[in-house]
A and B are shown apart, each in its own frame.
Chain A
Amino acid sequence: GDSVTQMEGPVTLSEEAFLTINCTYTATGYPSLFWYVQYPGEGLQLLLKATKADDKGSNKGFEATYRKETTSFHLEKGSVQVSDSAVYFCALSDYNQGGKLIFGQGTELSVKP
Chain B
Amino acid sequence: GAGVSQSPSNKVTEKGKDVELRCDPISGHTALYWYRQSLGQGLEFLIYFQGNSAPDKSGLPSDRFSAERTGGSVSTLTIQRTQQEDSAVYLCASSLARSEAFFGQGTRLTVV
Residues of A with Cβ closer than 8 Å to B?
32, 34, 43-46, 49, 51, 89, 93, 95, 98-106
Q: Give the number of chain B interface residues (Cβ < 8 Å).
A: 23
Known contacts A43-B91, A43-B104, A45-B103: A98-B42 contact under CB 8 Å: no
CA distance A42 to B40 in the complex (A): 13
Q: Which 8 A-B pairs have the closest CB atoms?
A: A105-B42, A44-B103, A106-B42, A103-B43, A46-B100, A95-B98, A43-B105, A100-B48
B33's partner among A34, A46, A51, A101 (CB-CB below 8 A) is A101
Which residue of B93, B97, B99, B106 has the most chain A CB atoms within 10 A of its CB atom?
B99
Contact at A99–B43, with CB atoms within 8 Å? no
Chain A, interface SS category: strand
CA distance A95 to B30 in the complex (A): 13
Contact at B43–A98, with CB atoms within 8 Å? no
Chain A: minimal CB distance from B34 (Å): 11
Query: Across the interface, which residues of B come within 8 angstroms of A43, CB to CB?
Result: 91, 103-106
Query: Across the interface, which residues of A come within 8 angstroms of B42, CB to CB?
Result: 89, 103-106
Contact at A102–B45, with CB atoms within 8 Å? yes
